[in-house]
Structure 1
Amino acid sequence: MALFLYRVGRFSFRHKWLVVVAWIAAAVVVAGLVGSLNPKFSKDFELPGTDSDKAMSILQSDFSRVNDEQSKASTSIVVAADDGVANHSAQLDQLVAKAKELPKVTDAASIVNPVTAAKLVPQAASKVLGDNGTVGLIQIRQDVSPEDLKPADKERFTDLLGEFRTQGLDVQGTGTLMQVQEQGGTAELLGFAVAFIVMIVAFAALVAAFIPIITGILGVMITIQLVTLGAGVFNINESATGIITMLGIAVSIDYALFIVSRYRSELALGGSRESAAGRAVGTAGSAVVFAGLTVVVAVAALSVVGIPFISQMGLAAALAVLIAVLGALTLIPALLGVFGRFAFSPRIPLLRHGDEPEEKVSNGQRVAGVVGRRPWVVTIAGLVLLAVCALPMAKLELGLSSTTDSEVAATDLLKRGFGEGVNGQLMVVLHSDNGDVARAADDAVGHIRGLDAVATPDQLTWVGNGPDAANPKAGATSALISVTPQFSPSGQQTHRLMEQIRDYSSTTEKEGASLHVGGQTAIMSDISSKLSGALIPYLVLVVGLAFIILTVVFRSLLVPLTATLGFLFSVCATFGATVAIFQEGWFGLISHTQPIISFLPIFLIGVVFGLAMDYQVFLVTRMREEYVHGRTALQAVIVGYKHGARVVASAAIIMISVFASFMLAPDTTSKMMGFALAASVFFDAFVVRMLVVPAMITLMGDRAWQIPRWLDRILPNVDIEGSKIREIPIDHDATPADLRRSDPAPVG
Structure 2
Amino acid sequence: MAELLYRLGKGSSLHPWRAIVAWLLALLVAGGSYLAFGGTLSSSVTIPGTATAEVTDRLQAEFPDASGGTGTILFHTADGSALTDDQRADISAALADVAALDGVQRVVDPFQAEADREAQAADLQSKQAQADDGRTQAEAGQAQLDAGRADAEAGQAALDAARAAAEADGTIVTMQAAFDAQQAVLDAGAAELDSQQQVLDATFAQLDAAQPALTAGQQLIDAASGLRTVSEDGSAAVASVQFSLPAIEVDPDTKGAVVDAVEAADLPASGVEADFSNELTQTLPALGGVSEVIGVAIAGIVLFVMLGTLIGAGLPLVTALVGVGVGAAGALALSGVVDMMSVTPILGVMLGLAVGIDYALFILNRHRRQLREGADVHESIGLANGTSGNAVVFAGSTVVIALLALNLTGIPFLGLMGTVAAACVVIAVLVAVTLTPALLGLAGLRLLPRKQRADRHAHVHGEVAPMSTPRAWLRVVAGIAVLGIVAIPAASMRLGLPDGTSEATDSTQYRSYTLTAQEFGEGVNGPLVVVADIPTGLDEAGLTVLQADIVGDLMAQDDVVAVAPGGVSEDGSLAIFQVIPQEGPNSESTEVLVHTLRDLSIDGHDDVTLSVAGFASGNIDVSEKLSAALPLYLVVVVGLSVLILMVVFRSLVVPLIATGGFVLSVLAAFGGVTAIYQWGWLGDVFGVHDPAPILSFLPILLVGILFGLAMDYQLFLTSGMREAYVHGSPARRAVAEGFHAGRHVVTAAAIIMISVFGGFIFSHTAIIRPIGFGLAFGVLVDAFVVRMLVMPAIMHLVGEKAWWLPRWLDRLLPDVDVEGASLERRHHAPDHTPEGERSPAGKHAAGGDTATADDGEQPATSRA
Normalised to the residue count of structure 1, the TM-score between the two structures is 0.84
2:517 pairs, out of 409, 415, 418, with: 415
Mapped partners of 1:40, 1:80: distance in 2:
35
Q: Confirm whether residue 536 of structure 1 aligns to residue 631 of structure 2.
A: yes
| Unaligned ranges ≥5, structure 2 | 122-223, 245-249, 831-844, 850-864
For 2:649, which of 554, 564, 567 is the aligned residue?
Answer: 554
* Contact 2:114-2:229 within 8 A present in 1 as well: no
Once residues 520 and 640 of structure 2 are traced to their aligned partners in structure 1, the CA distance between those partners, rounded to angstroms, is: 51
Percent identity, aligned pairs only, is: 37
1:477 is displaced (CA, Å) by: 3.5
- C-alpha distance in structure 2 between counterparts of 1:563 and 1:198, whole Å: 27
Write the distance in 2 (CA, Å) between the matches of 1:641 and 1:121. Answer: 80
With over 3 angstroms needed to count, the CA separation of the structure-2 counterparts of 1:506 and 1:453, relative to structure 1, is closer
2:152 equivalent in structure 1: none
The 5 A counterparts of 1:201-280 are 201-232=305-336, 234-280=338-384
Checking the alignment, whether the CA contact within 8 Å between 2:374 and 2:457 is kept in structure 1 is no
1:511-531 deviation per Cα after TM superposition (whole angstroms, max 9, x unaligned): 3x7753222221111101101
Deviation of residue 173 (structure 1)? 5.0
Which residue of 238, 248, 253 corresponds with 1:138?
A: 238
Distance 2:492 2:256 in 1: 36
Amino acid at match of 2:471: R
Question: What's the CA shift for 1:711?
Answer: 1.1
Aligned equivalent of 1:526: 621
- In structure 1, what residue type is equivalent to 2:252? E
- The farther-off stretch of 589-598 and 687-696 is 589-598
Choose from 650, 663, 681 the match for 2:779: 681
Q: Indicate the structure (1 or 2) with the bigger Cα radius of gyration.
A: 2
Change (3 A) 1:22 1:182: closer
* Structure 1 stretches lacking a partner, 5+ long: 467-474, 733-743
- Give the conservation status (yes or no) of the 8 Å contact 2:107–2:241: no
Q: Indicate which of 132, 144, 147 corresponds to 2:252.
A: 147
Give SS of 1:137's match: strand
**1:431 touches 1:437 (CA, 8 Å); kept in 2?**
no
Partner of 2:862 in structure 1? none
**Residue 697 (structure 2) aligns with:** 599
Contact 1:552 1:715 in 2 (8 A): yes
Distance 1:747 1:267 in 2: 25
Match of 2:760 in 1: 662
| Alpha-carbon offset, residue 638 of structure 1 | 2.3
Among 390, 401, 414, which residue is 1:297 paired with? 401
Give 1:84-233 correspondences, 5 Å limit.
Answer: 85=82, 110-111=108-109, 117=115, 121=119, 123=121, 127-128=227-228, 132-133=232-233, 136-139=236-239, 141=241, 145=250, 147-148=252-253, 163=268, 173-181=276-284, 183-186=286-289, 187-232=291-336
**Mapped contact 1:129–1:417 kept (Cα < 8 A):** no
Q: 1:156 and 1:269 mapped to 2: Cα distance?
A: 69
CA drift at 1:94: 5.4
Is 2:259–2:276's contact at 8 Å kept on the other side of the alignment? no
* Distance change (3 Å), C-alpha of 1:115 and 1:542: closer
* Structure 2 Cα separation of the partners of residues 75 and 231 of structure 1: 29
1:208 is paired with a residue whose SS is: helix
Q: CA deviation at 1:505?
A: 7.8
**C-alpha separation between the residues in 2 aligned to 1:389 and 1:306?**
31
SS in 2 for 1:630: coil
Aligned residue runs from structure 1 range 556-595, under 5 A: 556-587=651-682, 589=684, 590-595=688-693
Q: How does 1:621-660 map to 2 (within 5 A)?
A: 621-660=719-758
- The CA distance in 1 between the partners of 2:255 and 2:318, in whole Å, is 31
Indicate the SS of the match to 2:585.
coil
Instruction: Using the TM superposition, give the Cα deviation of residue 52 of structure 1 relative to its aligned residue in structure 2, in angstroms.
Output: 1.0
Amino acid at match of 2:21: V
Displacement of 1:360: 7.0
Q: Who is 2:459 aligned against?
A: 357
Q: What's 2:841 paired with?
A: none
Q: Give 1:685 deviation, angstroms.
A: 0.7
Deviation at residue 56 of structure 1 after TM alignment: 0.9
How far apart, in 1, do the equivalents of 2:22 and 2:461 lie? Answer: 42
User: What is the SS of the residue equivalent to 2:560?
Assistant: coil
Task: Please tell me whether residue 284 in structure 1 is matched to residue 388 in structure 2.
Answer: yes
Cross-structure match for 1:52: 52
2-side partners of 1:371 and 1:506: how far apart? 72
Deviation at 1:65, TM superposition (A): 2.6
In the other structure, the counterpart of 2:561 is: 455
Aligned counterparts of 2:386 and 2:538: Cα–Cα separation in 1: 70
Give the aligned residue type for 2:650.
R
Q: What residue in structure 2 maps to residue 382 of structure 1?
A: 479
Cα deviation, 1:350-374, whole Å, max 9, x if unaligned, reads xxx998734379xxx7xx8657772
Structure 1 residue 234: Cα displacement: 4.6
Letter in 2 for 1:389: V
> Residue 424 of structure 1 corresponds to which residue in structure 2?
526
Please report how far the alpha carbon of residue 81 of structure 1 lies from its aligned counterpart in structure 2 after TM superposition: 7.1
Deviation at residue 648 of structure 1 after TM alignment: 0.9
Q: SS at the partner of 2:634?
A: helix
1:77 correspondence with 2:75: yes
> What secondary structure, in the 3-state scheme, does the structure 1 residue paired with 2:826 have?
coil
Deviations 1:461-493 (A, max 9, x none): 352221xxxxxxxx4243322222222112122
Residue 716 of structure 1: CA displacement?
0.3
8 Å CA contact 2:356–2:425 kept in 1: the answer is yes
Q: Which moved more, 1:599-608 or 1:538-547?
A: 599-608
Q: Tell me, in whole angstroms, the C-alpha distance in 2 between the residues paired with 1:506 and 1:108.
A: 31
SS at match of 1:586: coil
Which region of structure 1 is more displaced relative to structure 2, 441-450 or 145-154?
A: 145-154
Secondary structure of 1:325's aligned partner:
helix
Alpha-carbon distance, 1:165 to partner: 11
Pair 1:437–1:700, CA change in 2 (3 A): farther
Name the SS of the counterpart of 1:138 in structure 2.
strand
Deviation at 1:37, TM superposition (A): 4.6
Paired residue for 2:599, among 486, 503, 506? 503
Moved more, 143-152 or 378-387: 143-152
Identify if the C-alpha distance between structure 1 residues 669 and 323 changes in structure 2 by more than 3 Å, giving closer, same or farther: closer
1:180 counterpart letter in structure 2: T
Question: Is it true that 1:494 corresponds to 2:590 in the alignment?
Answer: yes
- How far does residue 110 in structure 1 lie from its aligned partner after superposition? 4.6
Q: CA, structure 1 residues 651+99, in 2 after alignment: closer, same or farther (shift >3 Å)?
A: farther
State how far apart, in whole Å, the 1-side matches of 2:456 and 2:595 are.
62
Equivalenced residue count is 711
Shift of 1:532: 0.9
Please identify, of 283-292 and 178-187, the stretch whose mean Cα deviation from structure 2 is larger.
Answer: 178-187
CA distance in 2, matches of 1:288, 1:43: 34
Query: Match of 1:174, as an amino acid?
Result: S
Contact 1:104/1:142 (8 A) holds in 2: no
**Aligned AA for 2:28?**
V
CA offset digits 1:150-170 (Å, max 9, x no partner): 99997997999994897xx99
Counterpart of 1:18 in structure 2 is 18
Q: RMSD across aligned C-alpha pairs, in angstroms?
A: 3.9
C-alpha distance after superposition, 1:212-238 (max 9, x if no partner):
112211212222233334445555445
2:183 paired residue number: none
Q: CA distance change for structure 1 residues 330 and 506 in 2, over 3 Å: closer, same or farther?
A: farther
Deviation at 1:688, TM superposition (A): 0.8
Cα offset for 1:431?
Answer: 5.4
Are the equivalent residues in 2 in contact too, given 1:426–1:518 (CA < 8 A)?
A: yes
TM alignment of 1:429-448, pairs within 5 A: 429-430=531-532, 442=547, 444-445=550-551, 447-448=553-554
Q: Structure 1 residues 326 and 78, CA, compared in 2 at 3 Å: closer, same or farther?
A: same
